[in-house]
Amino acid sequence: MVVIKKAVHFGAGNIGRGFVGQYLHASGYEVVFCDVNSELVRELEAAASYEVHEVGGDGRTTSVDGFRAVDSRLDEARAVYEISTADIVTTSVGPRVLPSLAPLIARGLIERDADLAPLVVIACETAIGASTTLAASVARSVESLGGCAPIAADSAVFANCEIDRIVPEQTPGLDVIIESFAEWAIEIGPFAGRVDAPGIDGVTWVDDLAPFIERKLFTVNTAHAAAAYYGWARGIGSVREALEVPEIHAQVLEVLLETKALLIEKHGFDAAEQQVYIDRNLERISNPHLPDTTGRVGRNPLSKLSRHERLVGPAAQLAERGLAFDGLVRVVRAALDFDVPDDVESRELQSLLRTSAGSGVSPELLAETLTGVFPGHPLFPSLAAVVADKISSRVAA
């Protein structure tokens, strides 16, 4: 009898289908996509397969089939059942959306057969400790649903991970264009004495994930964001074109030299190896086959400006160590001007700045609200000054 492994993946977008879903499918899992986009769910349910087109490197095309899809907003009961009988649950919904999955996962754990092995839960988000954060939310949900608090700990293994793969803006459809380079590192520690680590082809299992996460977040994502915000400010459509402007290229390099200094001091990375990593990743985000737009890369500025994210996160750690962080603060300044009408967070950011300008809300309070950095922190005066400047410019306008 052939035993089919089942994976439930939340977030059927391009990363979900083109990276996580592809890896799980290639590793022999039946993939069940859960999403709140009803139209996308219907498309997936009607399709027998979709293709993932890799650009750069070997340029392979692979086909993904044998999947199912569930509308987790309209059919919660089915989503809960799939979770309760799954071997692994993964996510790619975004850090801000992640906590909203906790009630469904909690219900799945409560309904899970006690004879089944613990459910493996891996949040594949661009955020530090995303699975740990999700675990805490799930534990609270279990208690609120009347379950015993230990259920979340006993019935599931939450493992943090780091993922790195660029997915450019896409044309509508299920097929995905994605870069050939991919990195997925998962911490091995949580599995010890609990359950075997899942067999996922292409995954790197590591004892200490923190250096991998911060190296990627503070190099790839920081560079991407910096190029996007500086490029958007100049009316440049693509990240590649932005990096072709000498001034922007120099500004991005300045930021990466700052984060390089942090990574070397904190994690002991070799300086020459980190420079190679920087150069390779600048080539990646400049790839002409991945024509990413400044508008797409810069979207969700509130998330990108949060305390432990790609801009404020490294700047705060550098300030705490007495190292240079001015370049990162200048990117924060550029991010505050990001204004793309179809991006919810962009609209919210601009609304906060306009409201503060009209109501007399102090720059210090808004800086604290936007970044999560509090007065007394060595980075705070620089952030408050940047926010004050942006509020003043709106008052003058």
Residue 143 or residue 132, greater confidence: 132
Q: Is 92 exposed, middle or buried (0-12, 13-18, 19+ CB in 10 A)?
A: buried
- Three-state DSSP class for 40? helix
- What residue segments make up the domains of the chain, in order of their start? 5-207, 211-396
Distance CA 21, CA 10 (A): 10
Positive or negative, the CA dihedral 351, 125, 364, 227 is: negative
User: Out of 73-77, 171-175, 310-314, 316-320, which region has the weakest mean confidence (pLDDT)?
Assistant: 171-175
Whether pLDDT at 1 is above 50: no
Distance CA 177, CA 180 (A): 9
Architecture of domain 5-207: 3-Layer(aba) Sandwich (3.40)
Mean pLDDT of the chain: 92
pLDDT tens readout for residues 9-65: 999 999 999 999 999 999 999 999 999 999 999 999 999 999 999 987 677 899 999
Is 211-396 in the same CATH topology as 5-207? no
Residue 131 or residue 212, greater confidence: 131
User: Out of 182-186, 360-364, 378-382, which region has the weakest mean confidence (pLDDT)?
Assistant: 360-364
> Would you place residue 145 in the very low, low, confident or very high pLDDT band (cuts 50, 70, 90)?
confident
Whether pLDDT at 395 is above 70: no
Helix (H) or strand (E) segment spanning residue 62: strand 61-65
What's the pLDDT score for residue 289? 80
Architecture of domain 211-396: Orthogonal Bundle (1.10)
Helices (H), the chain: 14-15, 21-26, 38-46, 76-84, 102-111, 130-144, 150-155, 210-216, 222-233, 239-243, 246-267, 271-285, 294-297, 301-304, 312-320, 326-335, 344-359, 363-371, 380-396
Q: Count other C-beta atoms under 10 Å from residue 136's C-beta.
A: 15
Whether pLDDT at 397 is above 90: no
Residue 3, C-beta contacts closer than 8 angstroms, at least 6 positions apart: none
> Would you place residue 310 in the very low, low, confident or very high pLDDT band (cuts 50, 70, 90)?
very high
What's the pLDDT score for residue 171? 83
DSSP code at position 67: -
Tokens 């999403």 belong to which residue? 35
